[in-house]
Structure formats: C-alpha cells, structure tokens
Amino acid sequence: MQSSSHSSPTPDTLVLELTAAQALTPEVRRLQLRRPDGQRLPAFTAGAHIRVHIPGAGAEPTRCYSLVNSDGDGLIYEIAVKRECAGRGGSQFMHQLAIGQQILVTPPKNDFALHKPPHEALLIAGGIGITPILSMTRHLQATNRPYALHYGARSAAFMPYLQEIEALAGSRAQLYFDDGNPSRGMPLASLLGAPKTSRHVYVCGPRALIDATLAQALHLGWPRSQIHFELFSAPATTAADRGTTIDLARSGRQIDVPAGTSMLDGLIAAGCDPLFDCRRGECGMCAVHMLDGEVEHRDYALSDEQHSEGLVCICVARARSNRITLDL
C-alpha cells in the first residue's frame, strides 16, 4: 500500500483508499474509493457530493465531487473527475492518484436532492455534469419512478458514461452532440415545455447550460421551486471585474479588494470571519446588506427583489464602483 496523502483524520472526515480507476474519456477519470478496512461507508442519497482534501491546496483545501453511484451495498463511493488544466490543482491531483493511495474525505452532503415523490423528473446534463444526474437516473430507474434524461457533450468520445446510460435508461435518454457549436445543442424550449405541478427539472453542467435552462424555464412560466441545479465552480473572472475598497459600516474598517478577488475572499484575507458555505452563489449564506455602492450580482440564491433591497452574495458578486459599504 502506498503512503497516505492526507493529514490526520478527524471525527468529521473519512480516510478512503483508491481501489479502481478508469479513463472514461480523454479528459475524465472514474475513481472508486472505499475504506481500507472494508467497513461500510456513510449512506447518501442521489445528488450528494463528497469533499476531497487536496494536499497543498492553500486557502481552499477541498474540492467537491458528486457521487455517481447509487447507495448500493454501501462499500464504495464512485466519482468522476474532469482534468482542468487551468484549474486550481484539484483535478490534477485526482488524475495522478494511484491505486492504493489514501485520501481524506468529508462524508456525503446533499445540496441537490431529488424532490419528494410523486413527480416526473426532467434530468438535463452537460459534460461532467452527468455525475449527480446519473446517480439520480439510477435511483429513479431502480424505484420505477418517471423521468426523462437529456445529456449533451461535444462528441461521443467526450461523453462520460455513454454506454452505461444507454444500457440503463434506453429510450428515456436523449443524447446531443454539438461538436463545439452551441447552436447545435439541446432544444431547451421544446424539451422543457409548459410547466406542470407534477414535473421538476434538474440540471447540472457548464454554467452556460444552467443559465440557459433556468432562463428558458422561467420564461415558460416554470415556478422557481421546480427548477433545481448544481454548479461546480464560482463564476469566472471577467475583463470587467475591478478592484474596490470595502467600508465596513459597523467596525469602521476599510479593506482593499483587488480585481479578480471576491469580496468574501478580500474580507477573509483581512482577518474578518464572514459566514459562507458554497462559494458559488447557490446557498445565500454569505448574503449581507450593501448600504452604498454598485455591484454585479452573479448569485442564484437571491431574488431580484432581495437584490433591490440591497442584499449581496459577497462570494460571487463583483464590484462596479470604487467603494462599497457593507453592513458589517
């Protein structure tokens, strides 16, 4: 057995060993993890993810990976990791992980759970976004619940789990290959259709796919409560992003935040202790009131009304003024 690549475990973490690995596409690697002693793992539900501790990852030491398998016999966690050459190093580490090597993992958490039955699930996935969606598909198939799966990728060669999906879902799965041309992607308007109280949509994949699905569903009149999605990362930095000075109204402090850095990270670097969780603008835990200034909202947690009332998700919002005053 190879030496471990983790710090000491705690009551809230698991030491897992890589027992099998397989290249699913030129970019995606399937990994199966289990306890070294073979004991059962904590149970999970479809849509759940684990956090893997990445050695030397600095201020953000963990990466989230959705569990692909159903709960099954409770002995294996399966994840699939896409190599991101321009990423923060997590995918590189996971692609270099060797059989027998051990890692430190936070037990499963589910922020993307299936709605309680009865309802029909409309599953939409793009690329590596298939990981939680495939877990849902397996659960829905095993429990004989109604669903339809729409899955897109650049080509068949870049579609993880293609053969498994065809064998599992059969005619319930519709596959799309755009060859890198978004205009050849999924016909979202027709596959979403008019809203029904008995239908919920679940989407995971590139941010463009999630944004397009959300916008189209809302345009068609879908209630926001029937649209579910999961992001893998925070919004990318853009050329319009700028630095700003944050004035903290309660403490009187002034904190300079450089361009390309979120307000949340700027506060943390200055020694503040703001509340936060997902860092992707999904949960809303980091939301605070902005008393003065202008930002571009990039979150999915807050409504337009909440934005107009001054609430800001500081993990993803970006400054559009030289100074911003927060109620902190």
CATH (domain of 102): 2.40.30.10
1 pLDDT band, cuts 50/70/90, is very low
Same domain, 173 and 263: no
Q: How confident is the model at residue 180 (pLDDT cuts 50, 70, 90)?
A: confident
282 and 223 in a common domain: no
| Cα gap 169→15, rounded to integer Å | 33
* Together in a domain, 65 and 43: yes
Q: Residue 219: what pLDDT? A: 96
* Average per-residue pLDDT for the chain: 90
> What are the φ/ψ torsions at residue 222 (nearest 5 degrees)?
-65, 135
Cα distances from 74 to residues 38, 45, 180, 282, in angstroms, run 10, 11, 38, 29
* 181 and 201 assigned to the same domain: yes
Dist. CA 13–CA 136, nearest whole Å = 25
Q: Does 281 map to a domain?
A: yes
Confidence band for 299, pLDDT divided at 50, 70 and 90: confident
End-of-domain residue from the set 197, 230, 263: 230
Kindly state whether residues 187 and 286 are assigned to the same domain: no
Q: How many domains does the chain have?
A: 3
**pLDDT given for residue 4 in this prediction:** 45
Using the 3D structure, point to which of 230, 256, 287 is the last residue of a domain. Answer: 230
Is residue 70 in a domain? yes
Asked if residue 42 is part of any domain, the answer here is yes
In a domain, 235, yes or no: no
Same domain, 94 and 181: no
7 part of a folded domain: no
Q: Based on the domain organization, do 172 and 77 belong to the same domain?
A: no
Same domain, 200 and 125: yes
Task: Report helix, strand or coil for 48.
Answer: coil
Domain with 251, as residue range(s), is 244-326
Q: pLDDT digits over 23-49, tens only?
A: 999 999 999 999 999 999 999 999 999
22 and 69 in a single domain? The answer is: yes
Judge if the upstream peptide bond of residue 118 is cis by omega within 30 degrees of 0. yes
Nearest to 71, CA basis, from 138, 119, 130, 161: 138
User: Chain centroid to CA 81: how far?
Assistant: 12
Are residues 167 and 198 part of one domain?
yes
pTM of the model as a whole = 0.82
Are 128 and 223 contained in the same domain? yes
Residue 21: exposed, middle, or buried by beta-carbon count in 10 A (0-12, 13-18, 19+)?
middle
Q: What is the CATH number of the domain that holds 218?
A: 3.40.50.80
Residue 59 pLDDT > 80: no
Q: What is the CATH number of the domain that holds 321?
A: 3.10.20.30
Where does the pLDDT of residue 293 fall: very low under 50, low under 70, confident under 90, or very high at 90 and above?
A: very high
The reply to whether 273 and 320 lie within a common domain is: yes
Domain boundary among 169, 195, 230: 230
Residue 211 lies in a domain: yes
Domain-located, residue 236? no
Q: Is residue 309 part of a domain?
A: yes
What pLDDT, in 10s, does the model give residues 66-80? 999 987 779 999 999
